[in-house]
Homo-oligomer: A and B are copies of this chain.
Amino acid sequence: MNKKGLAILMRTRMKPNSPVNPTKFPISLATTNKMLPNSEGKEPTKQISAEDEDPDFDQKLKAPVNPKRLFELVRERMHSAISMNKTEIQDTVLSDFSEGYYGLSSEDRCKLLMVLGKDYDLNRTHVHDLMKQYLGLQLPAGDKGEIGDEDDSSLSTFYRTEKNLRHALQPTYEVLFDRLNTHPGGLKFLSVLRADILSTIREHNTPSLRALDSYLKEKLITWLSPAALELHRITWNDPASLLEKIVAYEAVHPISSLLDLKRRLGVGRRCFGYLHPAIPGEPLIFIEVALLKDVAQTIQEVLWDDPPILECDATCALFYSISSSQPGLTGINLGKFLIKRVIELVKQDMPQICTFATLSPIPGFMRWLISKLALQSKLAEADTLERSCSSKETAGSAFREDVLTTEEESQVLDKLGVSTSRKNGIEVILELLKSPNHEWSKSDEVLSVLKPILLRLCARYLLQEKKRGKALDAVANFHLQNGAMVESLNWMADRSEKGLSQSSGIMVNYIYRLDNIEGNAQSYFSSGRVSAASNLWRLVEQIQLAPR
């Protein structure tokens, strides 16, 4: 692989939804056209190779395909793929369907998925019949409904009916998923399908689409069980086609250059990915590790500043990036098993490593903070207005809360209030944080005032802000449920545009302590308790908030 080749590679961003084999696509379509002179034909016909029969075949390849006609063909192929019985040979139909699908516009994909969710659902009449039959069977005694002695024939009927019901309750589209899963390239295609379902739901949030998504997700979880995944150490010796995926899918700290990529795979660094045999050469998820003397506090020192140390001197493995390559696998936690296995592997390889930590972004902090501040500012305004009219408690007061401490409030007003026309600390901070190009981050005076305030609020965000009992921040939730603890917050640890927008430049170290992983995970799951260093807990507890 020469430098020029890689330079080209760097410019080419993979489109996740691009066809597996784009060159094959028009061939298949031409064949499909030939096979089905009109779209009324319902029977899946046996495929005839167009090359064998048609001297003008090459011409047809170049003919543009009418989108409406393509949609009908794909829809029909989908129907065949579902309805043909299992003794029929499905390969060509499945290839036609998936290759045709890749050629559809996003509107047509969306339309097709809605058809799939609605028209290939359960046969509810059949389900009803079976249920009535089941309820008619003599339920044996016992409070849990267990079966006592084994009375052969009646028991067999029970088990048979239950099996039938189980099958009848599976939606018709399950057949399509199962068949695609055993088809070459099918698992990858199913992950694309799920990504499209998720984006369709964003626009048309119908119950049938949600059910389609939930069912496909369950199936993908089964197929992508960690037992089927292989941990692969990705190195500079891997094929460019694989490295290209790393460049394309790195979601945390974009890879800026050839040198950057090479360094992330070189001395003092590790990169591991989970590969599935059915999606070769494309890690489903990968993790980047830096071998260091101490836990790094800024991403700059990991990515750019320091030359790597001797690996034998390293005592800390720092996970600084985890990215998933398949938007269609959203909600399927592959990372959990990955981190666990990477820790085992590194430990085995380098027993002197005793600290396993992360340097992680806090993607939701600024969004949360700004909306919290904005709400409080509005409520305060309304409050003042209403108070001037009546002396009663005001309508919004239930949502009022004190975000700043008395001391912070006066610090902000004293040192930063002069330059603005704002009359309280919240409004001053809000205006600063919203300033274009993160101007606030360029003044030492502003930084010195904001630093303790933002760090405290960030600790509150990570340790206390929850949604359905889980940490509001997605990355925090990921590491906490894997058994990590919040170790420390690092000021100005990521000065990139992304770092400043997401978390005012703050980054966090989560630590995986081998002895506590199981205990931490369990207490997080059962009580929602976040494990964190004591100084972080002190930051959020026992503070004096400014009176309203």
Q: Which residues of A contact B (CB under 8 A)?
A: 46, 87-89, 118-119, 121-128, 131-132, 134-135, 139-140, 143-147, 150, 152, 155-156, 158-159, 162-163, 165-166, 169-170, 181-182, 186-187, 206-208, 210-211, 214, 222-223, 225-230, 276-278, 337, 518, 521-522, 525-526
Evaluate contact between A162 and B156: CB separation under 8 angstroms.
Answer: no
9 contacts between A and B (CB under 8 A): A118-B146, A121-B146, A122-B145, A128-B145, A152-B207, A159-B210, A166-B169, A222-B222, A222-B223
Evaluate contact between A230 and B277: CB separation under 8 angstroms.
Answer: yes
Evaluate contact between A278 and B89: CB separation under 8 angstroms.
Answer: no
A387 nearest CB across to chain B (Å) = 41
Expressed in whole angstroms, the Cα–Cα distance for A206 and B211 within the complex equals 37
Question: B residues within 8 A CB of A182?
Answer: 225-227, 337
Evaluate contact between B156 and A122: CB separation under 8 angstroms.
Answer: no
Point out the residue from B135, B152, B207, B228 that lies within 8 Å of A278, measured CB to CB.
Answer: B228
Point out the residue from B122, B139, B150 that lies within 8 Å of A207, measured CB to CB.
Answer: B150
Evaluate contact between B134 and A208: CB separation under 8 angstroms.
Answer: no
Expressed in whole angstroms, the Cα–Cα distance for A193 and B527 within the complex equals 36
Evaluate contact between B87 and A208: CB separation under 8 angstroms.
Answer: no
A36 nearest CB across to chain B (Å) = 18
A226 nearest CB across to chain B (Å) = 5
Expressed in whole angstroms, the Cα–Cα distance for A163 and B212 within the complex equals 11
Evaluate contact between A159 and B211: CB separation under 8 angstroms.
Answer: yes
Evaluate contact between B155 and A208: CB separation under 8 angstroms.
Answer: yes
A161 nearest CB across to chain B (Å) = 10
Evaluate contact between A526 and B125: CB separation under 8 angstroms.
Answer: no
A89 nearest CB across to chain B (Å) = 4
Point out the residue from B119, B132, B228 that lies within 8 Å of A223, measured CB to CB.
Answer: B228
Evaluate contact between B89 and A152: CB separation under 8 angstroms.
Answer: no
Expressed in whole angstroms, the Cα–Cα distance for A119 and B87 within the complex equals 37
Evaluate contact between B227 and A152: CB separation under 8 angstroms.
Answer: no
Evaluate contact between A225 and B181: CB separation under 8 angstroms.
Answer: yes
A213 nearest CB across to chain B (Å) = 11
Given A228-B223, A228-B277, does the pair A522, B89 have CB atoms closer than 8 Å? yes
Expressed in whole angstroms, the Cα–Cα distance for A52 and B397 within the complex equals 56
Evaluate contact between A208 and B123: CB separation under 8 angstroms.
Answer: no
Question: B residues within 8 A CB of A522?
Answer: 87-89
A176 nearest CB across to chain B (Å) = 14
Expressed in whole angstroms, the Cα–Cα distance for A122 and B229 within the complex equals 31
Evaluate contact between A143 and B125: CB separation under 8 angstroms.
Answer: yes
Evaluate contact between B139 and A227: CB separation under 8 angstroms.
Answer: no
Question: B residues within 8 A CB of A140?
Answer: 124
Chain B residue, CB-CB nearest to A205: B152
Question: B residues within 8 A CB of A162?
Answer: 122, 127, 169, 211
Evaluate contact between B118 and A145: CB separation under 8 angstroms.
Answer: no
Evaluate contact between A147 and B131: CB separation under 8 angstroms.
Answer: no
Query: Besides A125-B145, A150-B208, A223-B227, 19 other CB < 8 A contacts?
Result: A87-B522, A87-B525, A118-B150, A124-B140, A128-B135, A128-B139, A131-B134, A150-B207, A155-B208, A165-B165, A166-B169, A186-B227, A187-B227, A222-B222, A227-B276, A227-B277, A228-B276, A230-B277, A277-B277
Question: B residues within 8 A CB of A207?
Answer: 150, 152, 155-156, 158-159
Question: B residues within 8 A CB of A144?
Answer: 123-125
Question: B residues within 8 A CB of A143?
Answer: 125
Point out the residue from B139, B147, B170 that lies within 8 Å of A121, measured CB to CB.
Answer: B147
Chain B residue, CB-CB nearest to A47: B518
Evaluate contact between B278 and A227: CB separation under 8 angstroms.
Answer: yes
A159 nearest CB across to chain B (Å) = 4
A272 nearest CB across to chain B (Å) = 15
A144 nearest CB across to chain B (Å) = 6
Point out the residue from B124, B166, B222 that lies within 8 Å of A139, measured CB to CB.
Answer: B124
Question: B residues within 8 A CB of A169?
Answer: 162, 165-166, 169
Question: B residues within 8 A CB of A87?
Answer: 521-522, 525-526
Question: B residues within 8 A CB of A118?
Answer: 146-147, 150
Evaluate contact between B181 and A227: CB separation under 8 angstroms.
Answer: yes
6 closest A-B pairs by beta carbon, nearest first, are: A124-B145, A87-B525, A227-B278, A125-B145, A155-B207, A159-B211
Evaluate contact between B208 and A277: CB separation under 8 angstroms.
Answer: no
Question: B residues within 8 A CB of A132?
Answer: 135
